[in-house]
Amino acid sequence: MAKPQMETFTIESAVADFLEFTKNKKRPNTYKRYRAVLDHFRAFAKPYTQVGAITPADIDAYRDERLAEKNSRGRPISPRNVNYEVATIRSFYYYLQKFRDSTLANPAARLKPLAVTKTVVDTYDEAELEKFFQACTKDEQAVFKAFYYTGLREQELAHLHWSDLSLVKHILTVRAKPENGFIPKDWEEREIPLHPKLVTLSKELPRRHADLVFPTLKGNPNGHLLRMLKDIVERARLRGHWYLHKFRKTFATRALKNADIRTVQALLGHKNITTTARYLSTSTDKMRQAVTKL
């Protein structure tokens, strides 16, 4: 089949083509993120602009426009998010080069990323977690101690099946559930050793569903875990910013105190070790000890 000519390929049709490919080849969450980014790009470039007419200067202007805008929460869009958007546009053009027209220039290929301020890793401390877990019911404890002791991503926990747990070998396996629209990030399945306390909680947990460990009342993967977290935080009268991914950050930071970075990379399911390295933050206590000894 002859490849379409880019001279007549508009942004509108090219984006639709790429998103169809992404929907079939990538994880659902990846598809949603790509679609959101390309909706912004399509609006900026105008749908009927020819895809080959976009220049590096246009991508730079797109970047400036996005930095001047605010997100749905009314906050400025960060340089880190804009870098991700440009990386998505770059992937979009790489797709067109590979599958549609090898002569097409990629206007985002050589654009230098915006400088991003490195922030201290945001984790929960033991005192606030103790208050949090004291306010939990038995079932809530099972959910959030699963986050705490495994570092699972939200969708990994929501789609966790009883068959993924070996309570004899103390192993949890993150597996794809394509029939439920769940694919692990980077398409990589992995095994995580279960903490003894989590094994005990899992054995005591009622089986309310044939497959799902943490189902909703209707028997679906739980999409309301953040709401559950917020309810517990309010009940415990806790302050600060509480969110699900912070449990994963806490797990990673704690694990790196006791294991090498390659082991933690495997536990977290990170494709690149540089992602794991972000959690190698030195604790305030260690820094204080270092200064005291001067």
List strands edge to edge, sheet with 165-166: 165-166, 171-174, 190-193
Can you tell me the distance from the alpha carbon of 234 to that of 204, in angstroms, rounded to the nearest whole number? 26
Q: Identify whether residues 138 and 242 lie together within a single domain.
A: yes
Q: How many Cβ atoms are within 10 Å of 120's Cβ, its own excluded?
A: 8
User: For residue 143, what are the CA distances in angstroms to 74, 112, 151, 213, 224?
Assistant: 31, 41, 12, 9, 12
CATH number at residue 142: 1.10.443.10
Whether 152 maps to a domain, the answer reads: yes
Q: What region does 137 belong to: left with phi over 0, alpha with psi -120 to 50, or beta?
A: beta
pLDDT at position 279 is 84
Distance (Å, rounded) from C-alpha 214 to C-alpha 207?
9
269 and 221 housed in the same domain: yes
pLDDT at residue 80, rounded to an integer: 92
Same domain, 182 and 252: yes
- At 32-79, the pLDDT tens digits run 999 999 999 999 998 789 999 999 999 999 999 999 999 888 889 999
Task: Decide if 1 is inside a domain.
Answer: no
Q: Could you tell me if residue 107 is inside a domain?
A: no
Q: What is the pLDDT of residue 62?
A: 96
For residue 49, give the CATH number of its domain: 1.10.150.130
**What phi and psi values does residue 220 have, to the nearest 5 degrees?**
-110, 160
Burial code of 124-152, b = ≥16 C-beta within 10 A, e = fewer? beeeebeebeebbeeebbbbbbbbbbbbb
- Predicted confidence at residue 188, as pLDDT, reads 81
User: Which residues are bridge partners to 166 per DSSP?
Assistant: 171
Does residue 106 sit within a domain?
no
Q: pLDDT at position 27, please?
A: 77
Q: Extract the residue ranges of the chain whose pLDDT is less than 50.
A: 1-4
List phi, psi (to 5°) of 257.
-80, -20
Coil, strand or helix at 213:
coil
Give the residue carrying structure tokens 């945001």: 122
The pTM of this model reads 0.74
Residue 269 located in a structural domain: yes
